[in-house]
Amino acid sequence: MKHFDIVVVGGGPGGYVAAIKAAQAGKKVALVEKSKLGGVCLNWGCIPTKTLLKSVEVLQSIRHSGDFAVKGIDVASAAIDMVKLQQRKNSIVQKLTGGVGMLLKGNGVTVISGQGSFVDKQTMAVGDEMIQADNFIIATGSVPAKPPIPVSGAEVCPCHAPCTSHDICAPIIGSDEALDLTEVPTSLVIIGGGVIGIEFAYLYASLGAKVTVIELLDRILPMVDREITGEVAKMLRGMGITILTEAKVTRIVGNKVHYEVAGNEDSVVGEKILMSVGRVPHTDGLNIEALGIEMNRRAIKVDAVMQTNVPGIYAIGDVNGASMLAHTASMEGMVAVDHILGHTVSLDYNRIPSCIYIQPEIAAVGLTEEQAREQYGDVLVGKFPIAASGKAMVQGENRGMVKVILEPQYQEILGVHIYGPHATDLIAEPALAMNLEATAEEVAMSVHPHPTLSEILPEAFHAALGKAIHNL
């Protein structure tokens, strides 16, 4: 029986980072992966969706090329070759997964393929093989949630072949299938207005599909600052996307989605129906029940250093339910390994940025204005419109804003929200500022190059301090 210092279960962004960090510290490490290295993010999430969205961005640039005095382009015929787009996506994913494998091999991590199942707190079965470890790090990620919606009449696909929920030809699809479509559906109904649902709504509406989003809550993107979601909803509706809020899906019959709003029943037909109601931690097959690991519903309960109630067993990433983001998983993996190595490193979830990759992009770190007022009462709020930025004007961008929220007494940075071009890149600076506990005045007075989009950040901080320069 092989013995390791640390066994990591799951090769996603949390698992492989933890394995590499542990190996670099001189530990004997194994990584157990039943599917593909890189996990959901690399193979079926972050990277594939952003690849598709980049092609849409290029298409939109072509469509608006006349605004930049470009001539000679047949804008009317510009379109996406879906087959080639899928080939490009698959090629990028393949290169990156291969890169993860090379990194693991180069750092001396033993990769074991198969489903890992605990025998006891120091032993795991992977197929017919038994392995032992002093420490286990569970990094098995999440799976799409399955809402209790009655479905009927969808057993026969439009292609008239027997199918399952995983078949591309099926009317009801999940995010995995939505990433693999080689034809743009004429109509798409998306159940769920969270990040995944809205990214797909923007993607397929840009490609020509008639998109309807059905959201149970009173607004789409409920985790985003309310003022910004209002602007985003307005932009999406301007694209022709129908957004139904406070709408409860009651049943699906064939290609028809029945829903209820304010007690009134209605329905909408979609060539495809995308289930996008979030994700849940994935622990199937691990046999964690045998270890007595405490759970928080479906998530594995952990402490500040990612350790479960069973000493030597850790859980990171989506499986612990704290923050279902790839970069969070990576950092949690580092925190867990540091603890195993004898160091305690804290992780402040309030300082972890989040990103949404529609156009304009959305990015945020810290509290929303609503959350800040609930916790602090009075707050200072500064805003700067994207339309007032010289660089944004040059790029043909006029939608969006930067919003800064400060604690009133000491001007502590509570939250920064960006809705605009390259927001997902710009958010790193305020995240760093919050981690370094920089003051609002320090950020406002830091010199940013001109003309750049980065200038919008100090402008918003100046506004929050009552010293706006380029905005009345």
The 3-class SS string of the chain reads CEEEEEEEECCCCCHHHHHHHHHHCCCCEEEEECCCCCHHHHHHCHHHHHHHHHHHHHHHHHHCHHHHCCCCCCHHHCCCCHHHHHHHHHHHHHHHHHHHHHHHHHCCCEEEECCEEEEECCEEEECCEEEEEEEEEECCCEEECCCCCCEECCCECCCCCECCCCCCCCCEECHHHHCCCCCCCCEEEEECCCHHHHHHHHHHHHCCCEEEEECCCCCCCCCCCHHHHHHHHHHHHHCCCEEECCEEEEEEECCEEEEEECCEEEEEECCEEEECCCEEECCCCCCHHHHCCCEECCEECCCCCCECCCCCEEECHHHHCCCCCHHHHHHHHHHHHHHHCCCCCCCCHHHCCEEECCCCEEEEEECCHHHHHHHHCCCEEEEEEHHHCHHHHHCCCCCCEEEEEECCCCCCEEEEEEEECCHHHHCHHHHHHHHCCCCHHHHHCCCCCCCCHHHHHHHHHHHHCCCCCCCC
Q: Tell whether the model's pLDDT for residue 160 goes beyond 80.
A: no
pLDDT, residue 159, reads 44
Give the span between the Cα atoms of 260 and 133, in whole angstroms.
52
Give the span between the Cα atoms of 351 and 14, in whole angstroms.
18
pLDDT, residue 152, reads 86
Question: Is the domain of 6 the same as that of 137?
Answer: yes
Question: Is the domain of 125 the same as that of 89?
Answer: yes
Rounded to 5 degrees, φ, ψ at 264 are -100, 135
pLDDT digits (tens, 9 = 90+) for 136-153: 999 999 999 988 899 887
Q: Which domain holds residue 49?
A: 2-144+280-347
* Amino acid code (one letter) for 242: T
Distance of CA 225 to CAs 64, 174, 246, 408, 418, Å? 29, 27, 18, 19, 10
Question: Is the domain of 120 the same as that of 104?
Answer: yes
Q: Is residue 23 part of a domain?
A: yes
Q: Tell whether the model's pLDDT for residue 32 goes beyond 90.
A: yes
Name residues whose C-beta falls within 8 Å of residue 289's C-beta, 6 or more positions apart in sequence. Answer: none
Q: Is residue 293 part of a domain?
A: yes
How high is the mean pLDDT of the chain? 94
pLDDT, residue 471, reads 83
Strand partners, 131: 2, 124
Domain of 179, CATH number, reads 3.50.50.60
Question: Is the domain of 20 the same as that of 137?
Answer: yes
pLDDT, residue 158, reads 44
Question: Is the domain of 121 the same as that of 9?
Answer: yes
**Residue 328 CB neighbours (<10 A):** 22
CB 138 within 8 A of CB 144: no
Last residue of a domain, one of 307, 331, 347: 347
Tokens 């949390």 map to which residue? Answer: 14
CB 226 within 8 A of CB 370: yes
Domain of 389, CATH number, reads 3.30.390.30
Q: Tell whether the model's pLDDT for residue 165 goes beyond 90.
A: no
Q: Is residue 469 part of a domain?
A: no
Question: Is the domain of 324 the same as that of 451?
Answer: no
Question: Is the domain of 119 the same as that of 37?
Answer: yes
Q: Is residue 471 part of a domain?
A: no
Give the span between the Cα atoms of 12 and 360, in whole angstroms.
28
What is the mean predicted confidence (pLDDT) over 308-314?
Answer: 97
Q: Is residue 257 part of a domain?
A: yes
Cα torsion for 413, 418, 424, 426, to the nearest 10°?
-60
pLDDT, residue 168, reads 47
Name residues whose C-beta falls within 8 Å of residue 87's C-beta, 6 or more positions apart in sequence. Answer: none
Q: Is residue 181 part of a domain?
A: yes
The total domain count for the chain is 3
pLDDT digits (tens, 9 = 90+) for 87-108: 999 999 999 999 999 999 999 9
Tokens 């959350």 map to which residue? Answer: 371
Question: Is the domain of 264 the same as that of 287?
Answer: no
Name residues whose C-beta falls within 8 Å of residue 438's C-beta, 6 or more positions apart in sequence. Answer: 413
Question: Is the domain of 326 the same as that of 260?
Answer: no
Q: Is residue 341 part of a domain?
A: yes
Asked if the peptide bond before residue 360 counts as cis, ω within 30 degrees of 0, the response is: yes
Q: Tell whether the model's pLDDT for residue 315 goes beyond 80.
A: yes
Q: Tell whether the model's pLDDT for residue 253 goes beyond 60.
A: yes
Name residues whose C-beta falls within 8 Å of residue 414's C-beta, 6 or more positions apart in sequence. Answer: 366, 367, 372, 376, 379, 405, 406, 407
pLDDT, residue 273, reads 96
Question: Is the domain of 265 the same as that of 237?
Answer: yes
Q: Tell whether the model's pLDDT for residue 157 goes beyond 80.
A: no
Burial class of residue 445, CB neighbours in 10 A (0-12, 13-18, 19+): exposed
450 catalytically annotated: yes
Q: Tell whether the model's pLDDT for residue 29 goes beyond 60.
A: yes
Q: Which of 343, 422, 450, 462 is catalytic?
A: 450
Last residue of a domain, one of 300, 317, 347: 347
What is the mean predicted confidence (pLDDT) over 306-314?
Answer: 98
Q: Tell whether the model's pLDDT for residue 162 goes beyond 60.
A: no
Q: Is residue 472 part of a domain?
A: no
Question: Is the domain of 320 the same as that of 254?
Answer: no
Last residue of a domain, one of 347, 378, 397: 347
pLDDT, residue 417, reads 98
Question: Is the domain of 405 the same as that of 293?
Answer: no
